[in-house]
Amino acid sequence: MSPAPRSFRIAPSILSADFARLGEEVRAVEAAGADMIHFDVMDNHYVPNLTVGPMVCEAVRPHVSIPIDVHLMVRPVDRIVGDFARAGADIITFHPEASEHVDRTLSLIREAGCKAGLVFNPATPLNWLDHVMDKLDMILLMSVNPGFGGQAFIPGTLPKARQVRARIDAHLAAGGQPISLEIDGGVKVDNIAAIAAAGADTFVAGSAVFGAPDADGGYRGVIQRLRAALAG
């Protein structure tokens, strides 16, 4: 049986938004056609930058109706999971190196009512997937080293994405649950088609969306160009 056709989701990252106007910014990207809000949480410990926590997630939640995709770049992970679930997160992903007990953390996320995912840095091996496929709703491949927006896409992510796609398709073929494949870092209009061809279905775009010039149609214009590139 061949896998079902993929539908694509665009997830603007708040990291490149104007933090002083965050509510307005997330409303604007939803109105411009975004499918999810990607919410980057950094702790100046697991990654060398510091962003926002559950209070800001809770403040943003009423401004949008699309899912909030919380990307935790924090260590430890477990204590903060419930706070984000209560703050309205729909999806919570974390880096396996940042959790002492990956299986337990995945269970905690699902028990809190959220979808759960693992995030792989560019040099993190995929064997973290070996024993947890049935506990995953999402696999997130970093195509930059985490910590900052606006970095260049690392091309080695493409063969890695093909490997993950093969694992997901094999899991589905064996009767497993669907798992989405998200790519985060350096996603632009000119590389999104190649990333989709490698098997991704969900695309984080921070600087590409929030840095889009008004003269080119602003957020709506760039989201349309990303979708047009996906449509081929």
Contact 80, 53 (CB under 8 A): yes
Instruction: Residue 187: name its binding partner from ligand DX5, Zn ion, none (Cβ under 5 to 8 Å by kind).
Output: ligand DX5
Query: How far is the C-alpha of 106 from the C-alpha of 78, rounded, in Å?
Result: 9
Minimum Å gap between C-beta 89 and ligand DX5 is 15
Contact region for Zn ion (CB under 5 A) — 17-25, 54-62, 65-73, 211-219?
A: 65-73
Dihedral angle sign, alpha carbons of residues 181, 184, 189, 190:
negative
Q: Say if residue 196 is exposed, middle or buried (CB neighbours under 10 Å; 0-12, 13-18, 19+).
A: buried
Minimum Å gap between C-beta 71 and Zn ion is 4
The verdict on 38 binding ligand DX5 (CB under 6 A) reads yes
> How many other CB atoms are there within 10 angstroms of residue 103's CB atom?
11
The verdict on 144 binding ligand DX5 (CB under 6 A) reads yes
The first and second tokens of residue 124, run together, are: 């993190």
137 is known as an active-site residue: no
Out of 25, 30, 35, 40, point to the residue binding ligand DX5 (CB under 6 A). Answer: 40
Q: Helix, strand or coil for residue 53?
A: coil
184 is known as an active-site residue: yes
Question: Pattern of binders to Zn ion over 23-52, x per CB under 5 A?
Answer: -----------------x------------
Instruction: Residue 186: name its binding partner from ligand DX5, Zn ion, none (Cβ under 5 to 8 Å by kind).
Output: ligand DX5
Query: How far is the C-alpha of 123 from the C-alpha of 85, rounded, in Å?
Result: 29
Q: Which one, of 152, 151, 226, lies nearest residue 196 by Cα?
A: 226
The verdict on 36 binding ligand DX5 (CB under 6 A) reads no
Nearer residue to Zn ion within complex by CB, 30 or 182:
182
The verdict on 71 binding Zn ion (CB under 5 A) reads yes
Query: How far is the C-alpha of 25 from the C-alpha of 30, rounded, in Å?
Result: 9
The first and second tokens of residue 47, run together, are: 């990654």
Give the footprint of ligand DX5 on this chain (CB under 6 A): 13, 15-16, 38, 40, 71, 144, 146-147, 149-151, 184-187, 204-208
Give the footprint of Zn ion on this chain (CB under 5 A): 40, 71, 184
Q: Catalytic positions, please?
A: 40, 184
